[in-house]
Structure 1
């Protein structure tokens, strides 16, 4: 446990992350604040001032102080070379390659989302869409034949396909929605030509509408996607909305991040990761279905857990009292479940970390993919309480986050080279927190397909205060019933953590469902009364009975 003042720091960090505010510890214990315009409210500013000593200690505990010569660069606009080809980020390269046959669990990355709208004018919505695309025009890119990216010159307007099903009965309406969902959920968007935006609208009998959107995750990460949809709908509601022009392009940002990798700071990050590779464990050995083929087209299915506001609020309160951020608590719950079903106490996960570094005030507004995957070492080998395991994992995450100036994909490639396993999905179990996005609107239906992934776990704050936990899973790679049991275990652990302090002190959760617990007990129960005497007493008697059977 920590004192009350220190205990408030994780909650403050969570709130700052949701507002898009980043902190950086500079020389002389000075805290630099990088925030989008209007994000740093008077209340947040007051809390920052009040807790400055604790924040300095928190930020300084996870790393050595950075030398002035190793400060982050600034993204500078290069309008003259906007249309010159440039190398994609490493994650984009891995997505491009991971969408090709021959790689494990291959699929082109995309995300289907469906929202209910109270009403919709198709023409007005299409204008709102294209106004936002015009605003983001410098960030619309395609993949060339040489696998380099190029900004689209004079992008053509995007069109919204409209389905008028206002005359359908209930059965016809259901069939239409299922048909659109099934098609778009497995539709892999193009990436070599514009437009790759796929937005559709179903006009329903009661005057409402459904918005269907298939997002090309090669070009957009989760924060960019949600911001894009929210802004399109805002422009629909307020056609006069006019945000400030973007000063930088996606190309500018990617080149600045590539330059950062070659800097002293980037090379220090490289050393941090590569020096640890030899001692790393493998992925958790979750049982796979007999005959499961990892080299066929991935087909992920979505599973969801929803925790009500009072449960989520209790978890946040108890986490803060222990000096834990909510992101790290949920990561620890996920690790607990994987450890139990794999039998592994030391394994790697793929941790999604944003590369929207504070290189420019508008970095968070650029429509692009700044996500990066880094191996997260989970060490559950110590006999300790859950809260101590979570703190251990949090320390590892904080150390890792201080070394994101060298690409996570390069780290994974270096790991595959060390193990001589090219093309292998070295960490097919991914975890990612979207809590920093803030209160999100839960889609009516959704699915994420990502290459080289068996289970992708994400957690989101919802606008009503609920916690939304998503698992995108290749179901048929696992034995029947396994994912059901694992997900129910996740639910039970979160509920126990919300219910009281005892669960936080639990040294070993045993989250097996009741029916499986009973089955294990029955299989291990003796068949009858054990015979008298010792096990070897009958040996001489049997030998005398059948001496010809040695």
Structure 2
């Protein structure tokens, strides 16, 4: 058979497979799977968002169907969110695609790779992190990183060291080296485990040393030029207690990468004789493939965002004690440290919140984002402002992608327009629609949009108030990981160009609500009062069904929510490098 005949035969097989995967029964099964209900329970004309579909689940479905050859988009599906409409759209797309579907060829060359050094370009968010961590940047001088502590019992240092060595060999990004030109390469594996034996110290001395280590690790800025992007230490304590300290630079991995590496670490620790399986895909190759696949979408989405630039609001003006555009260095401890405010909703409260959101055709992420935005508006001088929402944009074009460690993050800027005095549920639906529109044009991310705004104004534009939702992504600290290494007792993230980073993550069957607040930026008492208002508003949404149908002004205590006018940000031009601002985490 000729090569052309082989291609035609494989194409025909692919077309048949695509049609089968997009048949009504297959679509029903896929949607029921992400909703965690039986396929027969799905009504053809029911709004899928009312049934609990969220943006993350939808992004996963779109990625799966596009990987199978469909051209259906996120925007197509959000505009018609019923099973009947989706089945029709997918069938039509499968028929339209048959003339152009071809089998995958050999891997494309890595765009921008240097064959002499094996270095390759940074992803967009990596570049923003790289710029922002340098001294002299607005809210800069800070590494973007995750730091966690797991308090357990009986963790064996030798087994852990062996497991860590296997982990670092498996994942090239855990030994990534970043050069002065803003490029990256995979470096040599080092010895990642440090052991702190505190068993013979008096209790007061032990606690003092643990606190010193926590403070140092929380606010560290490692030398990524030397490949210092992943650290692990084990504290040995009396009575067999242990504390595992993990630090991951966001240049090397995002939040879901933290889950991947913890899961792999547990497997290597529990099965020490199992050799590390080499992945068939690495982050370097992923970036090249991802950029190639997104080129057309990126051009389309760039045009969409640029049409909207003149009407986009700016960041909320909050009661701050310093100008957020003031250049910062790592030596300025008053502006480079963060602290965490947190509140946990138990499984019953989580279920109540998800059920209430579903009844009002709102995703839980949109409901909590609206609660956050309403509280921010109460302290801002305007009820319309720009929020920065990170996206977990891991494109699953191959099975190996799920097991990679790397920065797959993107972002979308959200026009949080709360100016109309609407009931909470209607306010949330409006915010949800704007968010979905932004996500559907997410191939051109928030970093690029901010750069466009900065070029248009001739001055830096920041979006330093961040809301991150990981609802629907599962628990980062899986139960098996906690059984091996302990319960997370300290979790914090920080990064440049951000002074308030709110997150919602799944933990122990419930939801963990966090605010990471940059020290020295806000007026005294403001973050604590605002977080307390946020916590109380979320509690009302959980416990009071009528709260969803009332304007938020009636749900918050006006005595503790003064709307504050703050000075406008200066518009003086700055060096071009400062325009490359980092705003997520």
TM-score interval (norm. to shorter): 0.7 to 0.9
1:173 to 206, 210, 216: 206
Structure 1 residue 305 displacement after superposition: 1.4
Aligned to 1:45: none
Matches within 5 A, 1:258-337: 258-261=291-294, 263-289=295-321, 294-297=326-329, 298-337=336-375
Structure 1 residue 22 displacement after superposition: 5.4
Matches within 5 A, 1:22-101: 54-55=82-83, 57=85, 68=97, 77=107, 84-101=118-135
1:459 aligns with 2:504: yes
Aligned to 1:523: none
Superposed CA deviations along residues 307-326 of structure 1, whole A, max 9, x for unmatched, are: 12211110001111222211
Structure 1 residue 295 displacement after superposition: 2.4
Please say if residues 176 and 229 of structure 2, whose CA atoms lie closer than 8 Å, have aligned partners that are also in contact. no
Which TM-score applies when normalising by structure 1?
0.80
Structure 1 residue 413 displacement after superposition: 0.5
C-alpha separation between the residues in 1 aligned to 2:129 and 2:173? 22
For residue 386 of structure 2, give the secondary structure of its aligned residue in structure 1: strand
1:354 to 371, 383, 392: 392
Structure 1 residue 203 displacement after superposition: 0.6
Matches within 5 A, 1:115-264: 115-137=150-172, 140-152=175-187, 155-241=188-274, 245-261=278-294, 263-264=295-296
Aligned to 1:48: none
1:487 aligns with 2:531: yes
CA 1:23–1:295 in 2, change beyond 3 Å: closer, same or farther? same
Structure 1 residue 15 displacement after superposition: 11
Please say if residues 390 and 409 of structure 2, whose CA atoms lie closer than 8 Å, have aligned partners that are also in contact. yes
For residue 161 of structure 1, give the secondary structure of its aligned residue in structure 2: strand
CA 1:192–1:208 in 2, change beyond 3 Å: closer, same or farther? same
Q: What is the RMSD computed on CA atoms of the aligned residues?
A: 3.5
Please say if residues 221 and 369 of structure 1, whose CA atoms lie closer than 8 Å, have aligned partners that are also in contact. yes
2:516 to 472, 490, 495: 472
2:494 to 445, 449, 454: 449
Residues matched between the structures, number: 491
C-alpha separation between the residues in 2 aligned to 1:408 and 1:390? 21
Please say if residues 260 and 404 of structure 2, whose CA atoms lie closer than 8 Å, have aligned partners that are also in contact. no
Structure 1 residue 146 displacement after superposition: 1.6
Please say if residues 365 and 469 of structure 2, whose CA atoms lie closer than 8 Å, have aligned partners that are also in contact. yes
Structure 1 residue 54 displacement after superposition: 2.2
For residue 396 of structure 1, give the secondary structure of its aligned residue in structure 2: helix
C-alpha separation between the residues in 1 aligned to 2:159 and 2:59? 30
CA 1:403–1:303 in 2, change beyond 3 Å: closer, same or farther? same
C-alpha separation between the residues in 1 aligned to 2:474 and 2:401? 17
CA 1:16–1:217 in 2, change beyond 3 Å: closer, same or farther? closer
* Structure with max Cα Rg: 1
CA 1:290–1:356 in 2, change beyond 3 Å: closer, same or farther? closer
Please say if residues 435 and 461 of structure 1, whose CA atoms lie closer than 8 Å, have aligned partners that are also in contact. yes
Structure 1 residue 456 displacement after superposition: 0.5
Please say if residues 149 and 245 of structure 2, whose CA atoms lie closer than 8 Å, have aligned partners that are also in contact. yes
C-alpha separation between the residues in 2 aligned to 1:72 and 1:217? 36
Aligned to 1:432: 468
C-alpha separation between the residues in 1 aligned to 2:100 and 2:218? 44
**Structure 1 unaligned spans of 5+:** 34-51, 521-550
C-alpha separation between the residues in 1 aligned to 2:255 and 2:445? 19
**Structure 2 unaligned spans of 5+:** 1-40, 74-79, 330-335, 478-486, 564-585
User: Which 10-residue stretch deviates more, 3-12 or 435-444?
Assistant: 3-12
